[in-house]
Chains A and B, each alone.
Chain A
Amino acid sequence: MSYNAARPNLLAAPAVLWLVAFMIVPCALILLFAFFERGVFGGIDYNLNLDNFRRVADPLYAGIFLRSARIALTAAGLAILIAYPAAYAITRALPTRQPILLFFAVLPFWSNYLIRTYAWIVLLNREGLVNNLLRGLGYHGEPLSMLYTEGAVITGLVYNYLPFVILAIYSTLSKLNPELIEASRDLGAGPVRTFLRVTLPLSLSGVAAGGVFVFILSIGNFVTPALLGGGRFQMVGNLVYDQFLSANDWPFGAALGMVLITLMIVLLMLQAHMTARASGETRGASADA
């Protein structure tokens, strides 16, 4: 280490101030709100109690947490399944072509999230492109109802977050020491065995990072379920949004938000722990090699 890690670094001050003012303080306020009661017409009545947290545990709302987790998990799983082969293919391409391929992978980010999500409405609705295409191909039944379903929400989430996962997996795969693969082949392992025993385990930290990323962005998302779920498929994000902006029940919204933030922090810590362990193993494996 070339600098003294124990000495406070003043260069970090703007970032720290920013975080305290716009992250820590608002979060603390939200946490505080959660222990009070809603005013009749919005605002807050300052009567200290735990009712909001009790209400979060109500099967109705707890069910929404579970549903959101299931949707987010499915989206993360699908995104990994699609992103892994893509990232693998990019690392196997000529080094000069890799930046171009990566450029195409992140190209969707050039357009606005809302527009990208809205595009799926155009594709999936009953009179949309997909149904018209099917009709053109000779399908004459009732148009398929694809929009405003859980499937549409998952599709939207996977589509929007896929580039993150490709990048995360690519970054670990591209750093993989090719000598390890050569060694495995020299020692008689076939391509499948080499992949399963060497490449895959060593790229798991990228898979975990991408997966956790999609999960966290998905579980709190409210735009995609609002647009592609038609308001019929609520996720936690929609519930929080509604409590603040239409039900005017800030304390309950705050309690929901706090539970969600807590879940995310626990997950991020788990992921950091796993990544640390995995990179420890990688170092061990590299040393062995």
Chain B
Amino acid sequence: MFNSRTNRPRVASAMQAAALVFGLAGSASAADLTISNWDGYMAKDIADQFKAATGLTIDVVNHATNEEIMGKLMASKGAGYDIVFVSSPFAEILNKQGLLEPLDHKAIPNLANLYPEAVKLAYDPGNAFSVPYTWGTTGLCYRTDLVKTPVDSWMNLLKPDESLRGKVTMLATDRWLMAAGLLAKGYSVNETDPAKIDEAKKLLIEAKKSLLAYDDTTFYSKLVSGEASLVHAWDGWCNYGITDNKNITFTVPKEGSDLWVDTIVVLKSSEHKADAMKFINFILDPKNHAWAAQNILYKVPNKPAMESLDPALIKQYPTMGTPPAELSKYELLRDIGPAIKDYSRAVSEIKAAN
């Protein structure tokens, strides 16, 4: 989801924004496939591997956030891209907007590798237009040696103990920032009632006072350095912290979490749809899909890929071992329709508040 641990500075995306504003969106690439993904979310040599396997060339471009690629795809009606990686609610929106190509299951035999739970995801049962690439939860990542009080609730983050004030960080991307407030209030992560969104907004504005920073990209390194003691994190990113400090642990608060799924979709405007199906089949190959689990430390919904992992990896990073049945208990992030405007407005107001 999101940039990788080798995150690219925001300036780069500002420049992309400038390109957009100047009407230069879309790329005129000579490669067979143009793929937009988060930086570092695929193997660096993916293009070489894919070329060796299929003879096709790919051009990988990056987006920093779902919102950024959505803005571009909406503006260009998908032109310029063949395949994009987006989180599930955004795949759902793209499909409703008629921008996605139905997947040709005959051309993707490796779909059989998916866990049964990954085939039944409510936003796209049967994988008609999207293939799950990674999945996981969002929760609290903290230093057991620095946090002396028990951590089991979203309120530990939003109204932290005196000793933790100024030592917590939160995700600032619309859906996940709002989810923390909504879950703490006992509401759905897909809440669309304006009054409830407003309640969550007020809680999050209060929470801002005890925050060290909003951080979507380097929170785990703040934990490692000791600047922060408790951070709002995606499970996989907490693992990056665990790599450097054994005292870091991840927990899903008792109020629950979201189940997020990052997906691969093919655009209807693509002129290389058959090649795009080949790429998806290539990614679903257990060896290639396991790369994501081993390197970005996110769970992948690919049964043989997960079974091929070294047990030591799962021992070191317990979230990697969460079985799909447990994962699917959490509430799936869904498209919330026009309420997304209320979410982004609430987030603007939270960030602008003193």
Contacts and interface: CB of A to CB of B under 8 A. Distances in A.
Interface string B312-354: 0000000000000000000000000110110011011101111
B119 interface: no
A226 B352 contact: no
A274 interface: no
B122 interface: no
Interface string A217-251: 00000110010001110100011011111111110
A246 B68 contact: yes
Given A41-B340, A145-B166, A245 B68 contact: yes
A148 B212 CA distance: 7
A239 B352 contact: yes
Interface in A236-274: 238-239, 241-250
Interface stretch (B5-13, B183-191, B294-302): B5-13
Contacts of B172: 231
Contacts of A123: none
B11 A239 contact: no
Contacts of B227: 125-127, 147
A41 B225 contact: no
A38 B166 CA distance: 35
A63 B13 CA distance: 26
Chain B interface, >50% SS class: helix
Interface of A: 22, 26, 29-30, 38-43, 60-61, 63-64, 114, 125-127, 145, 147-148, 222-223, 226, 230-232, 234, 238-239, 241-250
Given A114-B9, A125-B225, A127-B225, A247 B344 contact: yes
Contact of A234 (B21, B65, B344, B351): B351
B340 A230 contact: no
Interface stretch (B70-78, B130-138, B240-248): B70-78
A219 B208 CA distance: 23
B245 to A, nearest CB: 13
Nearest to B96: A41
B67 interface: yes
B173 A246 contact: yes
Contacts of A249: 341, 344-345, 348
A29 B225 contact: no
Nearest to B337: A40
A61 B214 contact: no
Contacts of A243: 348
A60 B352 contact: yes
B345 A127 contact: no
B351 A231 contact: yes
B225 A246 contact: no
A30 B18 CA distance: 11
Given A60-B353, A114-B9, A231-B351, A246 B17 contact: no
Contacts of B352: 60-61, 63-64, 234, 239
A246 B68 CA distance: 6
B97 interface: yes
